[in-house]
């Protein structure tokens, strides 16, 4: 058993003059304060990778910068799934008795510390070096290809995809730390600049500065406990040219394994925190995970099902699409928000019931998947 005992999150957007290490430190200290712990009590450190500061020993670089001397340190790289993969590793470390309190941290000044072209080129390297990268595609282009196929097979429209951007923006409007606070409409999404058709600018997450952190502990440190009930991974491919058929992607595999590990069903879930780098990502994952039928997720958005007051509140902070995306820390914000919801600290965003939460992370181009169930215990 393991508990998420503290969480920390910076606002996302522009942080002029702040380095990646600065943003990571701010988030890490907030997580420590939330857990009621001192730096000397952290005996494990897990650190997400950084494209702005691609140090080969980033975990120990951060430990030195933050002033801790852990007995265990590790850096993890599985794209957008990294945050939950680190959480899963921390869960196993404390269960095994390797560490008592593990700090999981990531952050980047990706918006102000790296040019747009450099960011795009760094991310484009997920492509196959022989069969994909030489043709010049970027991450949006890969997801655009997937979106076209998905729309063809399941009758999903561009307007359907736009619904997810509108929902995430409406949620971000209620969070003071979100990068964007202006409401948008389906028509505005449709009219935004084409990026990689059918994806347009507002179908894509922004580039952000920010940091996120949490502490995974063997025992709870406060009254309200949030424990990791069960988790699992699946890695079906790395490159789009080697991807399986749409109905055989890793999310379906990882959620089946996580349900078995947790002893839970989708019907038990009360809050969802799902990776949303693009609108197509969110639409597909909701359906792959069983939170909506094939081609039906957009209709559920329109009906209010995934709204704050709906049957399955989703990404109430605004997700990657509107809270922002600072690399690994971007997806970690989903877990921070889930923790706040589960402990009744989400202010005006608070949902009726977040006793069981489902989290899912996606790395690469639907390549690496981590599914996780969290449970509130009294």
**Domain segments of the chain as ranges:** 3-114+208-217
Q: pLDDT, tens digit, for every residue of 162-212?
A: 999 999 999 999 999 999 999 999 999 999 999 999 999 999 999 999 999
- Average pLDDT along the chain: 96
Distance of CA 370 to the CA centre of its chain: 10
Q: For 209, list phi and psi in degrees, rounded to 5.
A: -100, 145
Give residue 120's pLDDT band: very low, low, confident or very high (50, 70, 90).
confident
In a 10 Å sphere around its CB, with 0-12 CB exposed, 13-18 middle and 19+ buried, how is residue 182 labelled? exposed
pLDDT above 80: residue 116: no
What is the pLDDT averaged over residues 3-25? 98
What's residue 222's pLDDT? Answer: 83
Closest-CA residue to 277 (of 328, 346, 336)? 328
Q: Which class is 3-114+208-217 in CATH? A: alpha beta
pLDDT digits (tens, 9 = 90+) for 259-290: 999 999 999 999 999 999 999 999 999 999 99
Q: Which residue has the higher pLDDT, 117 or 44?
A: 44
Question: Which of 178, 177, 212 has its CA nearest to residue 27?
Answer: 212
Residue 354 has pLDDT above 80, yes or no: yes
Give the mean model confidence (pLDDT) for residues 81-108.
98
**Which two structure tokens, joined as six digits, stand for 319?**
């997700």
115 contact partners, CB below 8 Å, separation of at least 6: none
**pLDDT tens track for 124-162:** 888 999 999 999 999 999 999 999 999 999 999 999 999
Counting every residue written for the chain, the total comes to: 378
Mean pLDDT, residues 222-239: 94
pTM: 0.97
């Amino acid at each position: 058993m393991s508990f998420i005992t503290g969480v920390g999150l910076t606002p996302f957007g522009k942080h002029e003059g702040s380095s990646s290490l600065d943003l990571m430190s701010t988030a890490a200290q907030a997580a420590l304060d939330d857990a009621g712990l001192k730096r000397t009590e952290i005996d494990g450190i897990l650190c997400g990778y950084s494209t702005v500061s691609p140090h080969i020993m980033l975990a120990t670089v951060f430990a030195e910068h933050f002033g801790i001397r852990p007995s265990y340190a590790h850096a993890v790289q599985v794209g957008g799934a990294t945050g939950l993969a680190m959480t899963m590793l921390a869960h196993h470390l404390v269960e095994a008795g390797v560490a008592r309190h593990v700090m999981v941290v990531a952050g980047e000044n990706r918006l102000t510390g790296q040019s747009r072209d450099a960011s795009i080129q760094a991310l484009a390297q997920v492509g196959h070096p022989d069969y994909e990268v030489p043709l010049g595609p970027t991450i949006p282009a890969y997801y655009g290809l997937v979106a076209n196929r998905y729309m063809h097979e399941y009758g999903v429209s561009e307007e359907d995809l736009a619904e997810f951007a509108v929902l995430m923006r409406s949620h971000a409007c209620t969070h003071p730390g979100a990068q964007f606070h202006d409401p948008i409409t389906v028509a505005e999404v449709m009219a935004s600049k084409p990026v990689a058709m059918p994806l347009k600018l507002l179908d894509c997450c922004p580039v952000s500065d920010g940091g996120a952190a949490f502490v995974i502990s063997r025992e709870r440190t406060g009254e309200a406990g949030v424990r990791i009930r069960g988790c699992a991974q699946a890695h079906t491919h790395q490159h789009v040219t080697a991807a399986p058929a749409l109905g055989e992607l890793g999310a379906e595999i990882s959620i089946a394994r996580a349900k078995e590990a947790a002893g839970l069903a989708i019907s038990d879930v009360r809050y969802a925190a799902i990776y949303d780098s693009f609108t197509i990502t969110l639409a597909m994952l909701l359906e792959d995970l069983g939170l909506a039928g094939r081609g039906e997720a957009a209709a559920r958005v329109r009906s209010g099902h995934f709204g704050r007051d709906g049957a399955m509140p989703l990404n109430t902070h605004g997700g990657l699409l509107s809270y922002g995306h600072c690399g690994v820390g971007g997806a970690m914000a989903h877990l921070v928000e889930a923790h706040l919801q589960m402990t009744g600290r989400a202010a005006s965003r608070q949902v009726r019931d977040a006793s069981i939460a489902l989290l899912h992370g996606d790395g690469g181009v639907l390549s690496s998947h981590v599914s996780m169930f969290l449970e509130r215990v009294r």
